[in-house]
Chain A
Amino acid sequence: MNDDITFKIDDGSTIIYLYPDMNVQIGGRRIEKKYRLQNGDLQVYNTGYYGTVDMKLKYVPYSDAMAINAWWVGGSLLNYYYTNSSTLVSSYLHCAIRNSKIPFNKHQEPYADLMEGSLKLEEV
């Protein structure tokens, strides 16, 4: 992965820089119905697609972690993207945080001002 790339997430006003482990998982799911026909053919109806991004984060400043937790609580609509220096490398993923539990719930031992957790983002 290019060292110059910077991961970012924002709610339209606050930008938070992310420094994930080397395990960013970019995924997606097609919304489709599949049926096997009498002659053996497979019929597929595709009605949509949404992208996902999963990552684990360590050493996140307490203020950033709390801001992300607040976005999770509020169901905020967010933009996820990454840049190379000041240039946009990825497209924007218009998303919301879809963790089943609060994203940052653990202090990064032994640092009281740093948190660890994970983010599950889904396109909305």
Chain B
Amino acid sequence: MTEPERPPYSSIAGLAWPALPPPAGQSMLAICFQLELSQWLDAQTLRQQQLRQLRRLVEFAHAHVPHYRGHLSRAGIDGAAAIDAESFLRWPVLTKTEIREHGQDLAATSIPASHGSISWSTTSGSTGQPLRAATSGIAALFQQAVLLRMQSWYGVDPQSKLAVIRMTAETPYSGSWGAPTDLAFRTGPAVKLSAFESHEKQLDWLCREQPGCLIVHNANLQALLRRSRLHGKAPRGLRTVMGFSDMASPGLRGMVRDIWNAEYFDTYSCAELGPLALQCREHANLHLQSERVFLEVLGADGAACAAGEIGRVVVTDLHNFAMPLIRYELGDYARLGPPCPCGRGLPVLAGIAGRGGQTAVDPTGRSFFPRLNFDFWLDVAAVQQWQVAQLAPADLEVRYVGERDLTADEQSQLASEIRKAMRYDYRIAFTRLAVIAHAPGGKFDDFVSLHHHLRTTDG
């Protein structure tokens, strides 16, 4: 199925294989070599190495980042060297509100020159609260190394054409994939399209461009696949589809295979830290990218969740000294799973419960994270995109984009599936829309709560 591995390119005349790429490519491959080995470390060794790096970060943050100056003593930790999985649980969680309100105090007063230059970016995150984050050159390098790992895991041929559909598509065409791939490898061209284009236009564009590899929001992908099936139109030559951002339905992989004859892989990332978890090469599990990110799943009381227990996702970027995000609460909910049968020691993120992180309620007072991304949506061909909104404790609205109005039968079938999934007999209204708006920043919530009192208040 996969092409033979493409070796890197060489910057030295006459030396083609093995290659010596330019210095930036050498740095990238030096990290990639370590990632090749570290993925097979056992979970305990991985944790030891994470803590070793974490202590360096905390030591730096304590000395150079005003926001963290008192954190060690407030957490009752006797110096950075005393950081371990236990004591770290006492380190205060960093909320988006804190970043928004105290952003200046989170930037390091200075960073070592060897960490490279600092770049600023703006993100909304999954809860739609925009914030600015600073990233060091070194942290960006490590983020990029994980992206290269992703391409390697999924057998992506860098010499094929890459298509990206995301919110911004400032360079619709470029001769190469850009960093990190072209730091060490010859690549094919890359084409980009805005996800705000209609699905009709997106699909036509894919059929015209015929990329080998596609990167796309999961919700957008699902809409594209439905349209593709409805119109019998599929991009030719597509081999690999990598989904990101929104929650992937369990049936998405099968749809990509059936409708486009391509392999689908899910990823979990955030703008501030880059990839957090990548789907296993051999299994449906998402592997935490432990070399980059220290990820915790916490219960309501702040204690670490047991495997299988759903809790809040709190992450630490191990390498970004420009603006250390230490125990940063993303607003997502997830649970850790049992070890993956592939043998990699990288922990498994078994489920990300509602990447939008919005809770549903019912009139009995139960609040929960609705998982509505089931295959029954696929059975109703007229629905290209959907969103469920909670208007009141007993009232839901199904918003959908489609070619035509749903029939009464289709509505009743969907309503019964939703009631079954949400375990309450809600009143359900159906509204057909021309477009369903994304949250600021481009993430798409399949469930939104408009019921004022339902919103979580800690984010």
Q: Please indicate whether A and B come from the same complex rather than being unrelated chains.
A: no
Measured CB to CB, the residues of A under 8 A from B are none
